[in-house]
Amino acid sequence: MPSFARRVASFGTTIFTEINQLAAQHQAVNLGQGRPDFDGPPEIIDAAVRALHSDTANQYAPSPGLPELREGIARHAGVFYDLDVDPNAGVIVTAGATQGIFSAIMGLIDPGDEVIIIEPYYDSYVPGVQMAGGKPVYVPMHPPAWTFDADELRAAFSHSTRAIILNTPNNPTGRVYTRAELQLIADLCIEYDVIVISDEVYEHLIFEGHQHVAIASLDGMFERTVTVGSAGKTFGMTGWKIGWVYGMPELVTGVWRAHQFITFAANHPTQAAVAYAFTLGNSYYEEYQALYSHKRELVMQVINAAGMSAIQPEGTYFIMGDFSEVFDGNDVEFCKYLIEQIGVATIPPSAFFSEKHRKHAENHVRFAFCKSDETLERAAERMRRLRT
């Protein structure tokens, strides 16, 4: 009897698929998956349409990505982080950040290597490390401030550590790591000769008073960091699945070797459109932040309507709501209750923790606020039912 491989035997259905199915079944207002219910800028869509009709974009793109997009990514890293990225040998365009992270893991991690993962984490990191034969070593962030403990972090490093996977601005906590937090990580990486896979897909989703620091911009870190970005997040087109990885050619070559045999090349017409998007200039990022600052206020109303509490996110379009005042049970139970009885879908954040640290999340659910104002208002209305 044929069966599937041992490497996938422990993988279930992702939490995003599970919650989407349950939400559809109960016609819940879906604040679960980070999937905007509106499009990115129409002029970027027009650029994709032009590419589709150009006679040049409907066949394979070059394996590392369209040159004009690689130039856009390198230029952006120079403008925002003062990094000197080689567009030819230091950038790979991937099928979303998810494939970028997977290619980075496959290209840089050997079987038996330890990989430090800060929790909560985006759900693809652990299966990626496991498929590469690496060993995840977990360091939790602690509620309510969602900071990691310096001693716990230090204790996770050893001479078997090959890499650390970071995500700032952080999904699902909304934390933006401070320069001091990143410096602590950087010092340990240099001391133990560790590579960083830095997932910065929410780099432009930053709220007033906070600043995104790229770990690659700290002294001694560019040569040991690969940085991952996503047009899904930066330009609001999650369905296009265009992401990228950049860094020193010495590391990026490893990522590219894996990338060639995972997908060879990412979607060509949308790469052309994302290259155009990188020419829009600063006003685009400012408008994007203003849009989400407004939505952050609306999602606070959703939380307040329910009688729940939350710390305002510093970045990202996610917020962790603490439900301990309104529900007796764990996050999975509350999520199910919210969908079935209240009609609002959220994500149980225990899905982003190892078994050992799941308790850190048990009083919280994650709301995504990349939704139209009407959707957020409808959710707030429904959440009021929790009080009655």
Residue with Cβ nearer ligand GLN (24 or 155): 24
State the pairing for strand pair 135-142/114-119: parallel
Provide the greatest CA pair distance for the chain. Answer: 60
- Candidate list 19, 23, 29, 33; residue touching ligand GLN; CB under 6 A: 33
Quote the least distance from Cβ 118 to ligand GLN, whole Å: 15
Binding mask 360-379 for ligand GLN (x = CB under 6 A): --------x-----------
Nearest Cα to Cα of residue 371 among 59, 57, 36, 29: 36
Q: Is 136 in the site for ligand GLN (CB under 6 A)?
A: no
Chain residues 283-312 in contact with ligand PMP, contact rule CB under 6 A? none
Q: Which residue has the tokens 């990522």?
A: 255
Q: Which residue has the tokens 């933006």?
A: 176
Say how many C-beta atoms besides its own lie within 10 A of residue 290's C-beta.
10
- Candidate list 87, 134, 232, 349; residue touching ligand PMP; CB under 6 A: 232
Q: Binds 16, which of ligand PMP, ligand GLN, none (CB < 5 to 8 A, cut-off by type)?
A: ligand GLN
Q: Is 97 in the site for ligand PMP (CB under 6 A)?
A: yes
DSSP E strands in the chain: the ranges are 29-30, 91-94, 114-119, 135-142, 147-148, 161-167, 195-199, 225-230, 243-247, 309-310, 318-322, 344-345, 364-368
Q: Say how many residues touch ligand PMP, by CB under 6 A.
A: 13
Please identify, among the stretches 53-61, 154-162, 185-193, 230-238, the one whose residues bind ligand PMP according to the rule CB under 6 A.
Answer: 230-238
Q: What is the C-alpha to C-alpha distance for residues 246 and 252, in angstroms, rounded to an integer?
A: 7
Q: What is the C-alpha to C-alpha distance for residues 221 and 20, in angstroms, rounded to an integer?
A: 39
Q: Is 171 in the site for ligand PMP (CB under 6 A)?
A: yes
Q: Binds 350, which of ligand PMP, ligand GLN, none (CB < 5 to 8 A, cut-off by type)?
A: none
Say how many C-beta atoms besides its own lie within 10 A of residue 366's C-beta.
26
Q: Count Cα atoms within 13 angstroms, Cβ side, for 359.
A: 1
What Cα–Cα distance (Å) separates residue 293 from each residue in 103, 185, 309, 321, 354? 33, 29, 18, 17, 31
Strand partners, 137: 116
For 52, residues 6+ apart whose C-beta sits below 8 A from its C-beta are 58, 269
Quote the least distance from Cβ 248 to ligand PMP, whole Å: 21
Residue with Cβ nearer ligand GLN (25 or 54): 25
- Burial grade of 302 (CB within 10 A; 0-12, 13-18, 19 or more): buried
Quote the least distance from Cβ 185 to ligand GLN, whole Å: 22
Q: Is 16 in the site for ligand GLN (CB under 6 A)?
A: yes
What Cα–Cα distance (Å) separates residue 124 from each residue in 13, 128, 377? 12, 6, 31
DSSP letters spanning 236-285? S-GGG--EEEEE-HHHHHHHHHHHHHHTSS--HHHHHHHHHHTTS-HHHH
Binding mask 314-353 for ligand GLN (x = CB under 6 A): ----------------------------------------
Q: Binds 103, which of ligand GLN, ligand PMP, none (CB < 5 to 8 A, cut-off by type)?
A: none
Residue with Cβ nearer ligand GLN (189 or 368): 368
Please identify, among the stretches 19-27, 76-84, 92-100, 267-275, the one whose residues bind ligand PMP according to the rule CB under 6 A.
Answer: 92-100
Q: Binds 33, which of ligand GLN, ligand PMP, none (CB < 5 to 8 A, cut-off by type)?
A: ligand GLN
Q: Binds 96, which of ligand GLN, ligand PMP, none (CB < 5 to 8 A, cut-off by type)?
A: ligand PMP
- Candidate list 238, 267, 271, 363; residue touching ligand PMP; CB under 6 A: 238
Read off the tokens for 336: 């199910």
Instruction: Quote the DSSP letter at residue 294.
Output: H
Q: Is 34 in the site for ligand GLN (CB under 6 A)?
A: yes
Please identify, among the stretches 96-104, 178-186, 247-255, 276-284, the one whose residues bind ligand PMP according to the rule CB under 6 A.
Answer: 96-104
* Site residues (vs ligand GLN, CB under 6 A): 14, 16, 33-34, 171, 368
- Residues making contact with ligand PMP (CB under 6 A): 34, 96-98, 122, 167, 171, 199, 201, 230, 232, 238, 243
